[in-house]
Chain A
Amino acid sequence: MTTFDLVIRLTYLAVATCFVLGLHLMNSPATARRGNTLSAAAMTVALLATAVVLVRTGTVRPWAWAALAAGAALGSAAGLLLARRVPMTAMPQLVSLFNAVGGGAAALIGVHDHARHGASLPVVLEVLIGAVTFTGSLIAAGKLQGVLPGRPLLFPGARLLTGALALTMVTASILLFTGGGDAAFVVLAVAAAAFGISMVAPIGGADMPVVISLLNAFTGTAVAMAGFTLGNSVLITAGALVGASGAILTKLMADAMNRSLTAIVAGGFGGGDGPAEAASAQGRVRSLSADDAAIQLAYAADVVVIPGYGLAAAQAQHQLHELAELLRQRGARVRYAVHPVAGRMPGHMNVLLAEAGVPYEQLADLDEANAAMPRTDVALVVGANDVVNPAARRPGTAVSGMPIIDADRAKSVIVIKRSMGHGYAGIDNELYTGPRTGMYFADARRALSEITAAVKTLVG
């Protein structure tokens, strides 16, 4: 090993260490930003070191330098623009898009490696996983953005097609190792890309947090495989870290919905984002006015807010925070109970609340919130549905066994919702017809503004 090699390798080791430390610092909101900055600084060093390697070999052709510079400039500009502009409510689809291009880059490196060194197990995995992630993440982003319908897209024979594609990938891989050459490689890449589409298309919007985590884990693994083929340790370490993080989050999300990963990937569960038709139970529902809700809230000593996707869709996080602050000024204790799968990405709701300025000390997790529920005067449910459905405590329903926030155990419940439409699970919510529940039918943003105004005028 020359001195130069040694310096580069030590640099990579330091970079890998900083990635680990950066992720470690993410375990507290107070240090998380520092962790991200450390990780970004390490990334810069790793890229500079790699550029130095390139310069030193002296074999990079001028056109390759130009292609590299132009590509990096274009990609950086696009990434920067999107990262700055996109609203917090659209974060899941943006992360999914960044994940897609990362997977795509890994797959393209696989194409290069195959052309250069021929087939090997890491090359096959790199192309396979990278291509699946690329198309799969694009479909997920399209669904979240509403470009594609959020409901499961299933057609007769869809499962058969997915199965056939999987078989094609295996066959093409075997052919590749037994001297199939470029044709087998092309078939493998195309089948993997098609598989990504056919895997994610049948998965409904409610399962997106799990899918995004899973695809994130895939990209990490694909990048690690690229590290194997390029003989670069920092790619292996970083890829494996991301693979592990994706795997853990996937498991946490699946547990939070009490569904197996196989059931989620099999897809076909739940409906779309659009307002569903009115449910049959409408007759027994007690409807509230803004004044009713305002009086209840203004005289409550202990309020728990349960935000759901409806809040995100209406972008009403600022209105919610304003109402909560008003109640706090009147001496009420206000807490937010956030279900792990509320929103469309793990922890998405926390980001929205943070954007509105809710201090994280006011956030309660599932167990904490449920323990305090019987002492809660008002549970204010804003656009959440399945995660507060008491039917989950009984066997034999679509949501059975899913951990829920026990809103029905509060002394009274106010639900803000556009209609009696169903959640993703597509079943009636018994909370809405409960004896202590009042429903306020409106868009979350308008409803919260009206209640805030009513609190101010009624009890000023």
Chain B
Amino acid sequence: MNALLFTDLSVFVLSLLLGFEVIGRVPTTLHTPLMSAANAVHGIVLAGALLIALTADGVLGYALVFVTAAFAAMNVVGGYVVTDRMLEMFRPRKDTR
């Protein structure tokens, strides 16, 4: 195992633990928006789609980049917009009573 992989592995494990710690505190009320927000965060895979464009050449490579970018962009844009739409409804309403 080289040093770089070891660093990546440490980042992975620590992020997992941090995730457990942060998300364990979210109340049930917000579980749907939370899941949707988490869904949007893994839309970071779009950055991955960008990176594979670095080496793409030939029709197959371009097609791969196209489909990956389309999937990932749908994930990230849709995810954030729909989470925002849900959360907008959770604003406190002092006027109801």
User: Are A102 and B72 in contact, with the CB atoms below 8 A?
Assistant: yes
Q: Which residues of B contact A22 (CB under 8 A)?
A: 37, 41
User: Are A346 and B16 in contact, with the CB atoms below 8 A?
Assistant: no
Does A72 interact with chain B (Cβ within 8 Å)? yes
Residue of A nearest to B83 (CB): A36
Number of interface residues of B (CB under 8 A): 83
Query: Which one of A59, A60, A105, A241 contacts B19 once the chains associate, using CB atoms below 8 Å?
Result: A241
Q: Which residues of A contact B22 (CB under 8 A)?
A: 20, 23-24, 27, 241
User: Are B90 and A234 in contact, with the CB atoms below 8 A?
Assistant: no
Q: Which residues of B contact A111 (CB under 8 A)?
A: 64
User: Are B84 and A37 in contact, with the CB atoms below 8 A?
Assistant: yes
> With A and B bound together, what is the CA distance between A216 and B39 in angstroms?
7
Number of interface residues of A (CB under 8 A): 114
Does B3 interact with chain A (Cβ within 8 Å)? no
> With A and B bound together, what is the CA distance between A234 and B8 in angstroms?
10
Given A72-B73, A84-B81, A109-B68, the answer on whether A249 and B31 have CB atoms closer than 8 Å is yes
User: Are B48 and A83 in contact, with the CB atoms below 8 A?
Assistant: no
Query: Which one of B20, B27, B53, B61 contacts A244 once the chains associate, using CB atoms below 8 Å?
Result: B20
How many CB-defined contacts (below 8 Å) exist between A and B? 383
Q: Which residues of A contact B45 (CB under 8 A)?
A: 102, 105-106, 109, 223, 226, 235
Given A36-B37, A351-B33, the answer on whether A106 and B80 have CB atoms closer than 8 Å is no
Q: Which residues of A contact B76 (CB under 8 A)?
A: 43, 47, 79
User: Are B37 and A54 in contact, with the CB atoms below 8 A?
Assistant: no
User: A177 → chain B, closest Cβ, in Å?
Assistant: 16
User: Are B18 and A79 in contact, with the CB atoms below 8 A?
Assistant: no
User: Are A64 and B56 in contact, with the CB atoms below 8 A?
Assistant: yes
Query: Which one of A20, A78, A242, A328 contacts B74 once the chains associate, using CB atoms below 8 Å?
Result: A78
Q: Which residues of B contact A86 (CB under 8 A)?
A: 82
User: Are A359 and B49 in contact, with the CB atoms below 8 A?
Assistant: no
User: Are B30 and A68 in contact, with the CB atoms below 8 A?
Assistant: no
User: Are A72 and B70 in contact, with the CB atoms below 8 A?
Assistant: yes
Given A80-B78, A212-B35, the answer on whether A244 and B48 have CB atoms closer than 8 Å is no
User: B92 → chain A, closest Cβ, in Å?
Assistant: 6
> With A and B bound together, what is the CA distance between A227 and B86 in angstroms?
29
User: A305 → chain B, closest Cβ, in Å?
Assistant: 15
Residues in A57-92 with C-beta less than 8 Å from chain B? 57, 59-61, 63-68, 70-76, 78-80, 82-84, 86, 88, 91
Query: Most A CB atoms within 10 A — which of B28, B35, B54?
Result: B35
Given A19-B41, A75-B74, A82-B78, the answer on whether A347 and B32 have CB atoms closer than 8 Å is yes
Q: Which residues of A contact B77 (CB under 8 A)?
A: 75-76, 79-80, 83
Residues in A348-406 with C-beta less than 8 Å from chain B? 348, 350-351, 354-355, 357, 359-360, 363, 365
Q: Which residues of A contact B73 (CB under 8 A)?
A: 71-76, 79
Q: A54-B51, A230-B52 are in contact. List 15 more A-B contacts (CB 8 A).
A: A16-B15, A26-B34, A27-B30, A66-B62, A67-B56, A227-B8, A227-B12, A228-B5, A233-B11, A237-B12, A240-B19, A241-B16, A246-B38, A248-B24, A345-B32
6 cross-chain CB contacts under 8 A:
A33-B84, A39-B37, A73-B73, A106-B45, A113-B52, A252-B31
**Chain B residues in contact with chain A, CB under 8 A?**
4-5, 8, 11-13, 15-20, 22-57, 61-93, 96-97
